Chain A
Amino acid sequence: MKGLTLRHLSKTYFDPYSGTRVDAIHDVSLQVEAGEFVSVVGPSGCGKTTILNMIAGFLPHSGGDILVGGKPVKGPGPDRGVVFQSFALFPWKTVLDNVAFGPKMRGVARAEREKIAREYLAIAGLSEAAGRYPSELSGGMQQRVGVVRALANDPDVLLMDEPFASVDAQTRMTLQEELTRIWAEKRNTVLFITHDVGEAVFLADRVVVLTKGRVLDEIKVGLPRPRKWDDANKDPEFQRLSAQVLEKVRAA
């Protein structure tokens, strides 16, 4: 397990329509410790997805450093697993082959990588779906596969880009509870992007509030784990933290 460091990270676009330079991210510094779960929350347009895309290596950054375990990142790589809002499962691969894809790229033999994939599918309660194609699953099931596919590759850092934004509210709560349970087992370093304040607090050890490409504030979340929505909703500490984060986001 490794930590993630952002040092004076910035991103400047050239906008060909207006002919001007646009500063999307100004000087963001952030440390995610090894095995820590950090949520980044902010209004739309605050640059949170841009930051994630730079960490994942999908976009080049304009200034500053992105370090995983002290090493600068160059382009996309398997040390940073990504869970996408649109799931991004391979439609032509079965659930099992989707999950086994990372190990396959590492050169793990078929029998061994399928064993790994089945283990992870079992953790998420997806064993029955192993032979099915993504289009045959519900949205909630598809994103379970998306999470498990990233985890099965054993990344140093797990990057999650509003992964539960496109599933229905009830399924979302179930998925959030499952994520805290699975995370409690694996203890990956996680950076979780969301615009949902309740989700950010419920999942994380620490919530970072982002605004207009800057870090506005950080709030520690000391709630006991594993977390359940039934408990959280009654917990005055959860409510206090949520209110505090919401206030920051609205001020943003």
Chain B
Amino acid sequence: MILVWKIWGAYVRLTARFPSVATLMPFVPVVGLWALVAHLELFPKVFFPSPLDVWRSFIDLTWKGILPDYLQDSVVRLAVGAAWGMALGIPLGVLIGMNRIAYRALWPVLLFLQAIGDIAWLPILVIWFGYGLVTMTFVIVYTVLFPVVLNTVLGVRSVPPVLARAAQSLGAGRWSVVWEVILPGALPNIITGLRNGLGYGWRALIAAEIIVGTSGIGFLMFDARRAGSVVEIFLGMIILGILWYIVDSWVLAPIERTTGQRWGLVTR
């Protein structure tokens, strides 16, 4: 028992020095179990490759340059879509959150459009724009837009009116109130919207690539299915998970730490 505690203590100290250990360690038993199941050949090997097979395929596809190209295609599509989604969504959310007329005019339309899920647009988009970048970008922007708009509205409305009054009585005009009070006050919600939007957007992108793509991780997986290469399908799935983890912990979490959490607006 004491030994267990000592090992646990050593592990905690190790993760304090190398935080990445804390990220990787939980996957050790998962990969171990996977390797064991593959080794025992509980399923036929063509349907259930081992971790080592997937690793070899990773090296192979990286070496040939296919994987880096596809990865870049997917990430750039997501980044462009997310940037447009934010550029449209945040101002729209602020407008709807602050202006009663805009709220009345746009809110029902937003809810209506939100209900037509992202890939439900694909049939008509393919007819309009064909199998290509425009169609995929549209789907991602559409998917990112709604969580950003809805959460921005929520954030704008959660800013205490007394803060806007305080700013006004210190000499702030309309735009200064938006820039200095409404936007920072709504920021924790905007980030939540962005986090949801990127998550949905990432999934929508993979779906769009599977259906209309000619490159990208989604295309890689669907193409592998056509060729009967289960290894590459596994590889694609693992890359999806890792990539999302990187976006979340390297981009979104640091923004949250330096804004809402630092200001005491969000409890840690």
Question: Which residues in A have some Cβ–Cβ distance to B below 8 Å?
Answer: 56-58, 75-78, 80-82, 84, 86, 88-92, 101-102, 105-106, 133-136, 149-150, 153
Query: Is B184 touching A88 in the complex (CB atoms < 8 A)?
Result: no
| In the complex with contacts A105-B176, A133-B263, A88-B170 CB distance below 8 A | no
Instruction: Give the CA-CA distance A57 to B170 in the complex, in Å.
Output: 12
Residues in A with CB closer than 8 Å to B180 are 90, 101
| In the complex with contacts A101-B180, A105-B176, A91-B264 CB distance below 8 A | yes
26 contacts between A and B (CB under 8 A): A56-B165, A57-B169, A58-B165, A75-B168, A77-B168, A77-B171, A78-B169, A81-B169, A82-B165, A82-B166, A82-B169, A86-B160, A88-B162, A88-B165, A89-B166, A92-B187, A92-B265, A101-B167, A101-B180, A102-B171, A105-B172, A106-B171, A133-B262, A134-B264, A135-B265, A150-B169
Chain B 246-268 interface mask (CB, 8 Å, partner A; 1/0)? 00000000000001001111000
Residues in A with CB closer than 8 Å to B171 are 77-78, 102, 105-106, 153
Residues in A with CB closer than 8 Å to B185 are 91-92
Which of B169, B181, B259: most chain A CB closer than 10 A? B169
| In the complex with contacts A90-B163, A91-B264, A133-B264, A101-B184 CB distance below 8 A | no
| In the complex with contacts A78-B169, A105-B171, A88-B176 CB distance below 8 A | no
Query: Is A90 touching B181 in the complex (CB atoms < 8 A)?
Result: yes
Query: Is B264 touching A88 in the complex (CB atoms < 8 A)?
Result: no
Question: Which residues in B have some Cβ–Cβ distance to A below 8 Å?
Answer: 160, 162-163, 165-173, 176, 180-181, 184-185, 187, 259, 262-265
Query: Is A76 touching B264 in the complex (CB atoms < 8 A)?
Result: no
Residues in A with CB closer than 8 Å to B172 are 101, 105
Min CB–CB distance A110 → chain B (angstroms) = 15
* Nearest residue, chain B, Cβ from A152: B170
Instruction: Give the CA-CA distance A84 to B164 in the complex, in Å.
Output: 12
Instruction: Give the CA-CA distance A78 to B162 in the complex, in Å.
Output: 15
Instruction: Give the CA-CA distance A89 to B160 in the complex, in Å.
Output: 11
Residues in B with CB closer than 8 Å to A82 are 165-166, 169
Residues in B with CB closer than 8 Å to A89 are 166
Which of A76, A86, A135: most chain B CB closer than 10 A? A76
Query: Is A135 touching B263 in the complex (CB atoms < 8 A)?
Result: yes
Query: Is B163 touching A88 in the complex (CB atoms < 8 A)?
Result: yes
Residues in B with CB closer than 8 Å to A84 are 162, 165-166
Which of B160, B170, B173: most chain A CB closer than 10 A? B170
* Nearest residue, chain B, Cβ from A78: B171
* Nearest residue, chain A, Cβ from B161: A58
Residues in A with CB closer than 8 Å to B166 are 82, 84, 88-90
* Nearest residue, chain A, Cβ from B259: A92
Residues in A with CB closer than 8 Å to B262 are 133
